Amino acid sequence: MDRRTFFKAGAGIAALGASGGLGAPALAQGAAQRTLRFVPQANLANFDPIWGTQYVVRNAACLVWDTLYGFDANLVPQRQMVESEEVTDGGKTWTFRLREGLRFHDGEPVRARDVAASLNRWAVRDGMGQMIRAIQEEPVQAVDDRTFRWRLKQPYPKMLVALGKNNTPMAFIMPERLARTDPFQQVTEFIGSGPMRLVRNEWVPGAKAVFAKFEHYVPRQEPASWLAGGKVINFDRIEWIIMPDPATASAALQNGEIDWWETPLTDLVPSLRRNRNIRADIADPLGNIGSFRFNHLHPPFNDVRARRAIAMALNQEDYMRAVAGDDRSLWSTLPSFFTPGTPLYTEAGGDILKGPRNIDGAKRLLAEAGYDGQPITVLVAQDQAPLKAMGEVTNALLTSLGMRVDFVATDWGTVGQRRAMRNPPGQGGWHVFHTWHAGADCTNPSSYLALRTHGDGAWFGWPSDAAVEAARNKWFEAPNLEAEKAAVAEMNAAAFNHVTYLPTGFFKTYQAWRSNVSGIIGAPIPFFWNVSKS
Amino acid sequence: MSSASILNPADVPPDSVKAAEPTRDIMPPVKTRTGLWGFVWRNPSIAVGGGIVLLMIFIAVFAPLLWTVDPTALAPARRTREPSAEYWFGTDMLGRDVYSRVIYGARVSLIVGFAVAFFSSVIGLAIGLVSGFVRWADGIIMRIMDGLMSIPSILLAIALMALTRGSVGNVILAITVAEVPRVSRLVRGVVLSLREQPYVDAAVAAGTRTPVIIWRHILPNTIAPMTVQATYVCASAMIVESILSFIGAGTPPIIPSWGNIMAEGRALWQVKPYIVFFPALFLSITVLAVNLLGDGLRDALDPRMAKRI
Amino acid sequence: MFAYVVRRILATIPVMAVVALFVFSLLYIAPGDPAAVIAGDQATPEDVERIRASLGLDRPYLVRFGAWVFDIVRGDLGVSIFTNLPVSTMIMQRVEPTFSLMVVTLILAVSIAVPLGVVAAWKVGTAIDKAVMGFAVLGFSVPVFVVGYLLAWTFALELDWLPVQGYTPLSEGLWPWLENLILPAIALGSVYIALIARITRATMLEVLQQDYIRTARAKGAGQRSILFVHALKNAAVPIVTVIGIGIALLIGGAVVTESVFAIPGLGRLTVDAILRRDYPVIQGVVLLFSFVYVLVNLMIDLLYTLFDPRIRY
Whole-number Cα distances in Å, C66 to A9, A247, B277, C285, C286: 56, 44, 49, 18, 18
CB nearest to C26's CB, from B159, B262, B280: B159
Residue B152, chain A, CB below 8 Å: the answer is no
B269 neighbourhood in chain A, CB within 8 Å: 247
B168 neighbourhood in chain A, CB within 8 Å: none
Interface test with C, best of A8, A124, A243, A245 (most C CBs within 10 A): A245
> What average pLDDT does range A442-455 have in this prediction?
89
More confident of the two residues A501 and B18: A501
Residue C15, chain B, CB below 8 Å: the answer is yes
Is pLDDT of A20 > 50? no
> What average pLDDT does range B238-266 have in this prediction?
86
C32 neighbourhood in chain B, CB within 8 Å: 162
Q: How far apart are CA B91 and CA B102, in angstroms?
A: 11
Q: How far apart are CA C89 and CA C73, in angstroms?
A: 16
Taking an 8 Å cut-off on Cβ atoms, the answer to whether A382 and B272 are in contact is no
Q: What is the pLDDT of residues A93-108, one digit of tens each?
A: 999 999 999 999 999 9
> What average pLDDT does range B112-119 have in this prediction?
95
DSSP-derived secondary structure letter, B270: T
C286 neighbourhood in chain B, CB within 8 Å: 151, 155, 159
Residue C43, chain A, CB below 8 Å: the answer is yes
Residue C32, chain A, CB below 8 Å: the answer is yes
pLDDT value, residue A27: 43
Is pLDDT of A159 > 70? yes
How many beta-carbon contacts under 8 Å exist across A and B? 78
More confident of the two residues C277 and B261: B261
Concatenating the DSSP letter of every residue in B137-195 gives HHHHHHHHHHHHHHS-HHHHHHHHHHHS---HHHHHHHHHHHHHHHHHHHHHHHHHHHH
More confident of the two residues C248 and B66: B66
pLDDT value, residue C71: 80
Closest CA–CA distance from residue B152 to any residue of chain C (Å): 5
Q: What is the pLDDT of residues A239-275, one digit of tens each?
A: 999 887 888 899 899 888 999 999 898 888 988 999 9
Is pLDDT of A165 > 80? yes
The subunits that touch chain C, with at least 3 C-beta pairs less than 8 Å apart, are: A, B
Tell me what the pLDDT averaged over chain B comes to. Answer: 83
Nearest in space to A40 (alpha carbons), one of A326, A243, A195, A179: A243
pLDDT confidence of B246, banded at 50, 70, 90? Answer: confident
Is pLDDT of A207 > 80? yes
B18 phi and psi, to 5 degrees?
Answer: -100, 155
Q: Give me the residues of C, 257-296, that contact A with CB < 8 A.
A: 259-262, 264, 268-269, 272, 275-277
CB nearest to B155's CB, from C144, C153, C286: C286
pLDDT value, residue B16: 65
The continuous run of DSSP H or E covering A148 comes out as strand A147-151
Please, what's the b/e burial string for A145-154 (b: 16 or more CB within 10 A of its CB; e: otherwise)? ebbbbbbbee
Percentage of chain A surpassing pLDDT 90?
Answer: 63
Nearest in space to A502 (alpha carbons), one of A377, A367, A350: A350
> Which chain C residue has its CA at the smallest distance from B299's CA?
C202
Residue A233, chain B, CB below 8 Å: the answer is no
Contacts of A108 (CB under 8 A, 6+ apart): A175
Q: How far apart are CA A96 and CA A84, in angstroms?
A: 6
Is pLDDT of A143 > 70? yes
Taking an 8 Å cut-off on Cβ atoms, the answer to whether C140 and B235 are in contact is yes
Q: Which residue type, as a one-letter code, is found at position A357?
A: R
CB nearest to B252's CB, from A383, A389, A409: A409
Contacts of A465 (CB under 8 A, 6+ apart): A453, A494, A495, A498, A500
pLDDT value, residue B12: 62
Taking an 8 Å cut-off on Cβ atoms, the answer to whether C141 and B155 are in contact is no
pLDDT value, residue C55: 66
CB nearest to B267's CB, from A246, A318, A409: A246
Instruction: Write down the H helix ranges in A357-426.
Output: 359-368, 385-400, 412-418
More confident of the two residues A292 and C269: A292
Closest CA–CA distance from residue A387 to any residue of chain C (Å): 14
B67: left (phi over 0), alpha (psi -120 to 50) or beta: left
Tell me what the pLDDT averaged over chain A comes to. Answer: 88
Nearest in space to A180 (alpha carbons), one of A353, A50, A33: A50
Q: How far apart are CA A67 and CA A166, in angstroms?
A: 10
Q: Give me the residues of B, 258-297, that contact C with CB < 8 A.
A: 262, 266, 269-270, 276, 280, 283-285, 287-288, 291-292, 295
CB nearest to B152's CB, from C17, C27, C251: C251
Whole-number Cα distances in Å, B43 to B49, C129, C131: 10, 17, 17
CB nearest to B248's CB, from A247, A383, A396: A383
Is pLDDT of A15 > 50? no
> What average pLDDT does range A167-177 have in this prediction?
92
3-state SS class at C267? helix
Q: Give me the residues of C, 147-186, that contact A with CB < 8 A.
A: 149, 152-153, 156-157, 159-166, 168, 172-176, 179
> What average pLDDT does range A79-91 have in this prediction?
92
Interface test with A, best of C37, C41, C181, C182 (most A CBs within 10 A): C41
How many beta-carbon contacts under 8 Å exist across B and C? 136
Range in A17-21, A359-363, B196-200 with the lowest mean pLDDT: A17-21
DSSP-derived secondary structure letter, A520: -
Residue B77, chain A, CB below 8 Å: the answer is yes
Is pLDDT of B20 > 80? no
Interface test with A, best of C165, C178, C258 (most A CBs within 10 A): C165
CA A83 centroid distance within chain? 28
How many beta-carbon contacts under 8 Å exist across A and C? 168
Closest CA–CA distance from residue B94 to any residue of chain A (Å): 6
Residue B248, chain C, CB below 8 Å: the answer is yes
Nearest in space to A221 (alpha carbons), one of A79, A381, A32, A421: A79
Residue C156, chain B, CB below 8 Å: the answer is no
Q: What is the pLDDT of residues A477-510, one digit of tens each?
A: 888 889 999 999 999 999 999 999 999 999 999 9
pLDDT confidence of B137, banded at 50, 70, 90? Answer: confident
A46 neighbourhood in chain C, CB within 8 Å: 38, 82-84
Is pLDDT of A6 > 60? no
**Is beta strand A147-151 parallel, antiparallel or unpaired with respect to A501-507?**
unpaired
Show the CA angle centred on residue C254, arms to residues C250 and C255, nearest 5°: 130
pLDDT value, residue A16: 37
pLDDT value, residue A395: 93
pLDDT value, residue B306: 52
More confident of the two residues B249 and B95: B95
Q: Give me the residues of C, 89-128, that contact B with CB < 8 A.
A: none
Range in B10-19, B90-99, C15-24 with the lowest mean pLDDT: B10-19
More confident of the two residues B191 and A453: A453
A420 neighbourhood in chain C, CB within 8 Å: 33, 36, 45, 48
Residue A408, chain B, CB below 8 Å: the answer is yes
ipTM, interface predicted TM-score of the complex = 0.78
Q: How far apart are CA C139 and CA A147, in angstroms?
A: 70
**Number of Cβ atoms within 10 Å of the Cβ of A134:** 12
Whether the upstream peptide bond of residue A169 has omega within 30° of 0, thus cis, is yes
Q: How far apart are CA A57 and CA A41, in angstroms?
A: 10
B249 neighbourhood in chain C, CB within 8 Å: 274-275
pLDDT confidence of A423, banded at 50, 70, 90? Answer: confident
CA A47 centroid distance within chain? 15
Closest CA–CA distance from residue B278 to any residue of chain A (Å): 18
> Which chain B residue has its CA at the smallest distance from A265's CA?
B267
CA A473 centroid distance within chain? 24
Is pLDDT of A457 > 60? yes
pLDDT value, residue A125: 87
Residue B18, chain A, CB below 8 Å: the answer is no
Taking an 8 Å cut-off on Cβ atoms, the answer to whether B270 and A268 are in contact is yes
The continuous run of DSSP H or E covering A197 comes out as strand A196-198
pLDDT value, residue A18: 37
pLDDT tens digits for chain C (313 residues)?
677 778 878 888 888 888 888 877 876 676 656 666 566 555 677 777 777 777 666 777 777 777 778 888 887 887 787 777 888 888 988 899 999 999 999 999 989 998 888 888 888 878 888 888 888 888 888 888 889 888 888 887 778 888 888 888 888 888 889 988 999 999 999 988 988 888 888 888 888 777 777 777 788 777 777 767 777 777 777 788 888 877 878 888 888 898 888 888 888 888 878 777 777 788 788 888 888 888 888 888 777 766 666 655 4
Nearest in space to A204 (alpha carbons), one of C280, C80, C180: C80
B155 neighbourhood in chain C, CB within 8 Å: 251-252, 255, 270, 286, 289
Residues B185, B186, B191, B196, CA torsion sign = positive
Length of chain A: 534
Please, what's the b/e burial string for A174-191 (b: 16 or more CB within 10 A of its CB; e: otherwise)? bbbebbebebbebbeebb
Nearest in space to B181 (alpha carbons), one of B151, B215, B222: B151
CB nearest to B269's CB, from A247, A326, A389: A247
Percentage of chain B surpassing pLDDT 70?
Answer: 86
Interface test with B, best of C145, C208, C289 (most B CBs within 10 A): C145
**Number of Cβ atoms within 10 Å of the Cβ of C61:** 11
Closest CA–CA distance from residue A248 to any residue of chain B (Å): 8
The continuous run of DSSP H or E covering A38 comes out as strand A35-39
Whole-number Cα distances in Å, A324 to A508, B104, B309, C26: 8, 27, 50, 38
Nearest in space to A179 (alpha carbons), one of A109, A114, A125: A114
